[in-house]
Structure 1
């Protein structure tokens, strides 16, 4: 990193997408300034830096803004090529990383969202769906992203992006348990996924940006309550 480089991240403490970027910056050893945004009262800086979506995260590198979390992550990996690499150089390997990241951010996000917003039998079905999708992910991890069992590093096969997305999505499973009374991941049923999540979230780079447990549980409960109330109002 050149002395002239200046990196600023506009984020929000509970945002999964902001967390992806923070973990990547820390893993790469990139110094950055963090600006916490209030998404209820968005700053003029945020509106100017991301006029299209007006959301976090936004990375500003030497005055140039980059928006959208996955775009930011690829930009980081292409700009700072030191280890760990977020995506491998091999085209097939990159395609596999992109595929499974898409699977996590679409399929798993969808089913965990249902867990958050449903009750009773409907919620139980959503938990079952989530676990089924984690079983699919389990096979993908075994096939494409093996990790040395004695390693404490992320990114088997230069694919740290998978671990970043994985731990940010499932590393808060204890909050789901406390806030919603459900277990979204079974360590017996999907041991590779569970052990990988647990190992990665023990890294200092993740611990430094992990949301405070009590605050996150409270936020999940409030979010759930809001979703349930809106569902009743609209029905």
Structure 2
């Protein structure tokens, strides 16, 4: 077989694999939504499988035996785990469809920097949800420090709507759960950290982000999330 035939065979195999794309997720998970947003922005068809994390399916245990968590993207029986790793995989597999990373190497590096920063620091927001008293106060301060840093970064956008420029990019997808989940956490806990007057640039970005049809149509219902998160916090505090 000549090289040209081999190349055609590989492309054919890839085409077949592209038809076998499924996502294991949970409707209220910001991490599952990250993957959904990336797939929808790129217009990539996929099958969605809703998981019950209280009764994990054999598929989830098979495809993510290490962490046993969602999301998991399965591409031609090859599983990819962790939301932002999945988003990068989607970007590298379909780079020409709605690019999520800049072309310039420096800008790509900066995008990855902010993604990593948010991944490391945003845990404080979840800890506000999970704690009370002095411990919670500590995580409130950490959350505010993170928001101030992101606000400074948002202030550099100028007339651009998104961290990715005129279109949503990987940084916007990483930050995206601020747009819905942060408010729900605040309401359930009874605190207000993300004040519009304190973070005007970040609030403007949030509004722009939520108005993009792909995002707007793929945000979980806020009222349903409130009920679920209230119950989850009650169970956490009771235990």
Shared topology, TM-score over 0.5? Answer: yes
The alignment yields a C-alpha RMSD, in angstroms, of: 2.4
Q: Give the Cα separation in 1 of the matches to 2:183 and 2:168.
A: 25
- 8 A contact 2:122–2:146 mirrored in 1: yes
The answer to whether 1:45 aligns with 2:59 is yes
| Greater Rg over alpha carbons, structure | 2
Q: 1:45-76: per-residue Cα shift (whole Å, max 9, x none)?
A: 11111222221111112232212212111110
Q: 1:137-193: per-residue Cα shift (whole Å, max 9, x none)?
A: 1122334xx2635x5x77217761111121213433332343222222121111111
Which SS does the other structure have where 2:49 is aligned?
Answer: strand
Matched ranges for 1:6-21 at <5 A: 6=19, 7-21=21-35
Residue 91 of structure 1 corresponds to which residue in structure 2? 105
Instruction: Single out whichever of 169-178 and 118-127 deviates more from structure 2.
Output: 118-127
Q: 1:86-116: per-residue Cα shift (whole Å, max 9, x none)?
A: 222322212211111122122122x212311
The answer to whether 1:201 aligns with 2:206 is no
- 8 A contact 2:154–2:163 mirrored in 1: no
Match of 1:107 among 92, 98, 121: 121
Q: TM-score, normalised by structure 1?
A: 0.85
Matched ranges for 1:203-218 at <5 A: 203-218=212-227
Q: 1:14-39: per-residue Cα shift (whole Å, max 9, x none)?
A: 22211110011111111111000111
Q: Give the Cα separation in 2 of the matches to 1:124 and 1:54.
A: 31
Q: Give the Cα separation in 2 of the matches to 1:84 and 1:183.
A: 35
Matched ranges for 1:1-235 at <5 A: 4=16, 5-6=18-19, 7-109=21-123, 111-120=124-133, 122-143=135-156, 146=157, 148-149=159-160, 155-156=164-165, 160-230=169-239
- 8 A contact 2:180–2:219 mirrored in 1: no
Q: Give the Cα separation in 1 of the matches to 2:30 and 2:56.
A: 18
Structure 1 residues 82 and 147: alpha-carbon distance in aligned structure 2, compared to 1, 3 A threshold: farther
Q: Give the Cα separation in 2 of the matches to 1:15 and 1:200.
A: 18
Q: Give the Cα separation in 1 of the matches to 2:63 and 2:27.
A: 19
> Following TM superposition, by how much is the alpha carbon of 1:122 offset from its aligned partner in structure 2, in angstroms?
4.7
Q: Give the Cα separation in 1 of the matches to 2:193 and 2:174.
A: 16
Q: Give the Cα separation in 1 of the matches to 2:94 and 2:159.
A: 25
